[in-house]
Every structure is written in C-alpha cells, then in structure tokens.
Amino acid sequence: MEEIMKKRVILLLLPLGLFSATFNQDMQNYIDSLKTEAKRNSSNFMDFSSSRGEKIFNASSIGKRGKSISCSSCHNLDLTKNGKNIHTNKTLEPLAVSINQNRLTDVKNVKKWLRRNFKDVYVREGTALEKGDVLYYINSK
C-alpha cells in the first residue's frame, strides 16, 4: 500500500517541477548541438537551466549603443505579455511558448535573433551554454 501511494504522489508531482513544452525535431537537434558544444567547453556541463537563463535574460549590461539594456528591456520581464522595441516603439509579440505557439519553432529564426540580441545586450555572441539556458527559460513560460 505504502509503495503504491509513493508512486502516485511522485507521478502527481512530476508535472509541477518539469513543465516545458517539447521542442520540435529541428529545434531539438539544435539544442543537442548546443549541448555538445557546452560539454566540449566544460566537462562539468550536465544540462541547460531555465533559472540560469532567466538571470541572463534579466541582467542589465552596457549594450552595443553604450547604454544599459537587458533582454527584458524590450521583451518584458513577464514573457507572457507583449514587449516593445525601446528604440522604435514597435510592439513585440509575447515570447512565452505557452502564449505564442510560433516561438522556438524555426531554427533559422531562433539562431538569427540569439546572435543579434546577444550582441545588442552583451556586445558579443552568446556561448552555447548561455544560448541553451536562455532557450530553456523561454520554453518554460
């Protein structure tokens, strides 16, 4: 009786800790390639982390234009809400995959924006670890 209860409790709790949408095949291949690269850079690497990704996303940095900026400056601290390009005022659709099913589906698009936006905020390309962490963060919302 005890054993069955334990198993039931675990099965119930599992979804709470591990919410994330599944990536499509192309995106999964890309994520796997990032994992390979992250592992190559550091043998301690286990997996990407959405909480690390959240820190990268919200941290302020002196950006490309010489002013303080973060990813959330345009994309909002709350990924389920609209963002706004702070230079042009253009409304940005929510990043959260739960709201916007198009997000994190097109690898070419994802690679382009990761490249551009890391440069905007951090004035350099993101490392494989940083990219993976940020993708996990967006995917968790």
Q: Which CB, 15 or 108, lies closer to other proteins?
A: 108
Q: What is the CA radius of gyration of the chain?
A: 17
Write the CB contacts of 21 (distance below 8 Å, at least 6 apart in sequence): 97, 98, 104, 139
Least distance to other proteins, CB of residue 60, Å: 19
Task: Mark 20-59 as b/e (b = at least 16 C-beta within 10 Å).
Answer: ebebeeebeebbeebbeebeeeeeebeebebebbbebbee
Q: Which CB, 35 or 64, lies closer to other proteins?
A: 64
Q: Which CB, 81 or 119, lies closer to other proteins?
A: 119
Beta strands 61-62 and 68-69 are: antiparallel
Q: Which CB, 117 or 140, lies closer to other proteins?
A: 117
Least distance to other proteins, CB of residue 3, Å: 54
- Of residues 53 through 72, those in contact with other proteins by CB under 8 A are 64-65
Using the Cα atoms of residue 21, residue 102, residue 38 and residue 70 in order, give the sign of their dihedral. negative
Q: Which CB, 19 or 113, lies closer to other proteins?
A: 113
Question: What is the C-alpha separation between 66 and 121, in angstroms, rounded?
Answer: 10
- Of residues 69 through 128, those in contact with other proteins by CB under 8 A are 85, 87-90, 116, 119-120
Least distance to other proteins, CB of residue 86, Å: 9
Least distance to other proteins, CB of residue 72, Å: 17
Residues that bind other proteins (CB under 8 A): 64-65, 85, 87-90, 116, 119-120
